[in-house]
Amino acid sequence: MKEELCYVGIAMHPQARKRLEEQYEVTDDESRIGQARAAICYGVPMEWTLPGKAEKLSAIGCHSCGEVQGKWVQERGIRLTLADSLWRTVAEHTLGLMMAPARKIPPADRAIREGKWKEHVTLKERFSGFDFQGKTLGILGMGQIGRELADLVRGFRMQVLYYDIVRAPEETERRLNVSFRTFDELMKDSDYLCILVPLADETRGLMGREVFSMIKKGCILINTARAGILDEEAFLEALSDGTLAGAGLDVFWDEGCLQKKELTERDNVVMTPHLGGSTYECDLALVEGVIAGAQ
């Protein structure tokens, strides 16, 4: 099948990409989409639905597909593979970003790598962290990722609260052992606060100075959604004045660039380069889907 072309528009785990390359010629050049038999992308672009744009496609693997694009896929008889495991994958990364600043794992690791082990007692004092058990986790946005996260933390003996504009069904609350709170209550009660709402007009800059003024002092904030939900200056102030005890970030206001020293020089901030959905298993599900769909 090597004569067939597959367009890949996302960063991919090397082993998953190798599996794809066993079956396809692989290109990252979207201008060749008209020649491609298969495609792997984050979301199906609207322009692909235009006449003559992507007429050879018989299989698409993606993380999301809009209503219009979904109808186009169905009408064309294109096999669509969605990585259903994505939500759990992002939730697992979110949990990792909760743990890392809470237990100060990255700076402790750096201290050992820099040969400071002889300062063992001092290091233990400097990098003593915080428990999960007995603490309150606040989830802002009880969507698919929020529900997966709530399920993951059930063994940590945490109280799990959430806020969303649409309250979850009672059965979901019982199954996950989560409690609904107002937005203000969530801010005031959370020892750990995970941002999992989508970026939209109503959520852009949602976490501003007024919100940080009411947030529980010593809270650890994790953002694996979109950076624009946080007002950058208000967030940096909250880190500087001790309102936040730490943060875990997978998204940034200017991705791909050197971040401000207010972030990079802080031991209590853990940063990853938008890795939430990046695992071998998640990528392989898309790869196997487009291989099966084009046969």
Catalytic residue among 22, 55, 255, 281: 255
Phi, psi of 220 (to 5 degrees): -105, 125
Q: Give the E-state strand segments of 65-107 in sequence order.
A: 79-82
Angstrom distance (rounded) from CA 76 to CA 24: 21
Verify whether residue 281 is a known catalytic residue. Answer: no
Active site residue 226: yes
Cα–Cα distance list, 254 to 88, 226, 289 (Å): 26, 11, 33
Active site residue 255: yes
DSSP bridge partners of 194? 139, 222
Catalytic residue, from 210, 274, 281, 288: name it.
274
> Which residue of the set 226, 232, 233, 265 is catalytic?
226
Torsion, Cα of 84, 85, 86, 87 (10° steps): 90
Question: Which residues are marked as active site?
Answer: 226, 255, 274
